[in-house]
Structure 1
Amino acid sequence: MTFNDRIFGVLLIVLAVAYGWGASQFPESFGGSEAVGPATFPYLLAVVLGLSSLYLIVRPDPDNAWPWSRTGIELVIAVVVLLLYTALLQPLGFIISTTLAVGTLCWRMGASLPRAYATGAVAGVVVFLIFNYALGLALPLGLLSFLEVG
């Protein structure tokens, strides 16, 4: 059914436009004369998503079907987990919300609970350290704000 790919392509174009509009709301970089600012990467992602969406609309897969079985339910669960992740990122902080989201997704993919959430915790801490200390980009600490230095 090529109709499914076309519907999905239209939805992704809407997402690409919204993502590009969101990037346009970022503040100008200091001085305003830099070619690469905070919105550059989101703009690139919006363009790639838009082009990929157009490809889905113009050249859909001839034999795809929506997975309305267990796979479909798992996809719905993954979307709900990611929506909750974005909602909890500020109040709980990056490390805790990432631990919960990655742990839950790993568990849904078949990992045991201890291994799933250990993977989530390691991912949350490592990515937090990379962003905060290697890249100098602050991520929210939320409940762990007592760990802030200086």
Structure 2
Amino acid sequence: MTYNDRIFGVLMIVLAVAYGWGATQFPEPFGGSEAVGPETFPLLLAVVLGLSSLYLIVRPDPDNAWPWSRTGVELIIALVVLVLYAMLLQPLGFIISTLLAVGTLCWRMGARPVKAYVTGGVAGVVVFLVFNFALDLSLPLGLLSFLEVS
């Protein structure tokens, strides 16, 4: 049944449009003349998601089935983790939220808990440093705001 991929593709196109629209709602940075603003990366993700979704609609997998077993439960857990990640990003900050989200997802995929959360912590710190210092794009510090250098 090829309807599963097509239904999923339509849902993901709706998500891509909503995500892209949300990205355009970011306030313009001071000066407003930057080529790369806060909306650039989310818009890029929305375009990639939209194109991938169109592919699912046009060329669905002929042999697919909804994963109603353990895989389906793991997908629901991953979705809940990602929604919580988005909700906690501002109050907890990027590093702590990423540590928790990546750590939990790694653990659910079979990594030992300590290694999973160390991976999440390292990912959070490395990506934070790249965005703040290499790309000059600030990410929220949240609970770690005492580390902010003025």
Match of 2:104 in 1: 104
- Deviation (angstroms), 1:29: 5.9
**1:88-103 matches, cutoff 5 A:** 88-103=88-103
Residues in 1 aligned to 2:23 and 2:101: alpha-carbon distance in whole angstroms: 24
Work out the percentage of aligned pairs sharing the same amino acid.
Answer: 84
Q: CA RMSD in A?
A: 1.9
Q: Report the alpha carbon displacement of residue 27 of structure 1 after superposing the two structures with TM.
A: 3.7
Cα displacement string for residues 63-111 of structure 1 (whole angstroms, at most 9, x for unaligned residues): 1001111111111111111111111111111111111111111111111
Whole-angstrom distance in 1 between the partners of 2:67 and 2:21: 31
Deviation of the 1:55 alpha carbon: 2.1
TM-score normalised to the size of structure 1?
0.88
* 1:48 and 2:48 are equivalent in the alignment: yes
Aligned to 2:18: 18
Q: CA, structure 1 residues 41+100, in 2 after alignment: closer, same or farther (shift >3 Å)? A: closer
**How many angstroms does 1:51 deviate by?**
2.5
Residue 19 of structure 1, CA deviation = 1.8
Q: For the Cα contact (< 8 Å) 2:38–2:137, is it kept in 1?
A: no
| Structure 1 position 67 matched with structure 2 position 67 | yes
Consecutive unaligned residues of structure 2, counting only runs of 5 or more, are: none
Q: Which position in structure 2 is the counterpart of 1:149?
A: 149
The structure whose Rg is larger is 1
Secondary structure of the corresponding residue to residue 68 of structure 2: coil
Q: How far apart, in 1, do the equivalents of 2:120 and 2:31 lie?
A: 39
Which moved further from structure 2: 133-142 or 38-47? 38-47
**Residue 58 of structure 1: aligned partner:** 58
The CA deviation string for residues 7-61 of structure 1, in whole angstroms up to 9 with x for no partner, is 0011011011112212222344666666655434433332332222222112211
Name the SS of the counterpart of 2:44 in structure 1: helix
Correspondence 1:7 to 2:7:
yes
